[in-house]
Amino acid sequence: MTECTVHVIDDDDAARASLTFLLESSGFAVIEYPSADAFLERLDTVAAGCVVTDLRMPGMSGLDLVRRLRQTGRPFAVIVVTGHGEVPLAVEAMKEGALDFIEKPYSGETMLAAVRAAVDRQGREAAGKAEAELFRARLARLSAREREVLAGLVAGKVNKQIAFDLSISPRTVEIYRANVMMKMEAGSLPELVRMALVAEWRSGDPPGSGPNPGES
């Protein structure tokens, strides 16, 4: 069974039960909610995952729910289900952060494909965020001078150029470069540059832990 939880939100009991059966039969863990408000009441305790919500419901609409989730910053991949003539609202929901929309009536294959795509995308995003946090933690190990050398490397400069910019010898740059590679756990220069890019690092960013004592 997939680790991702699918949160099904629909005020229509029969439609909600039918969709839940479809998803559970395909290996998804499903939690049902009769309204967007009911889902939001449990938001702090539910596992992140995929949300499949009807667009038009009494009380808070699916569009309003998408807006609320965007405000909270919780990592939910949202699919909105629309009725006839609701495509403009569904497009608006996508502009507000929904991943996809499906028009009624839909086939089981269409819904399953959409949910699988949402789950896969969310998994990639979660992995990417975890990787970025790992690289940021490694960047925090660098001293002020090592960050300056890293900035030169990311800019594509060779050791002699970096040495000139920093008024130090090329041999000293080599030492700092080796330290940067070791602390970042990078096996090559391209890998090091990729780490800096994934972490969205800029040379003026705060170090996180400050320079090491005695380094200049």
pTM of the full structure: 0.64
| pLDDT at 117 > cutoff 60 | yes
Q: pLDDT at position 208, please? A: 43
Q: Where do the DSSP E strands lie in 61-186?
A: 77-82, 100-103
Q: pLDDT at position 150, please? A: 93
Q: pLDDT at position 67, please? A: 93
Q: Which residue has the higher pLDDT, 85 or 18?
A: 18
Q: Taking phi first (over 0 means left), then psi (-120 to 50 degrees means alpha), and beta for anything else, what does residue 157 get? A: beta
| pLDDT at 1 > cutoff 70 | no
- Number of other CB atoms surrounding residue 208 within 10 Å: 12
Query: What residues contact residue 154 under an 8 Å CB cut-off, 6+ apart?
Result: 193, 196, 197, 201, 203
| pLDDT at 210 > cutoff 50 | no
| pLDDT at 156 > cutoff 50 | yes
Which of 17-26, 123-132, 135-144, 160-169 has the least mean pLDDT? 123-132
* Tokens linked to 15: 């439609």
* Tokens linked to 125: 């995003």
Return the SS3 of 64: helix
Q: Which amino acid is at 21?
A: F
User: Residue 73 — φ and ψ, nearest 5°?
Assistant: 75, 10
Q: What number of H helices and E strands is found in the chain?
A: 9, 5
Domains of the chain: 5-133 (3.40.50.2300), 140-198 (1.10.10.10)
Question: What does the alpha-carbon distance between residue 36 and residue 58 come to, in Å, rounded to a whole number?
Answer: 9
Which of 51-60, 85-94, 139-148 has the least mean pLDDT? 85-94
Q: pLDDT at position 39, please? A: 96
Which one-letter DSSP state was computed for residue 103? E
Question: What does the alpha-carbon distance between residue 159 and residue 149 come to, in Å, rounded to a whole number?
Answer: 9
Q: pLDDT at position 42, please? A: 93
| pLDDT at 11 > cutoff 90 | yes
At 76-102, the pLDDT tens digits run: 899 999 887 788 888 888 888 888 899
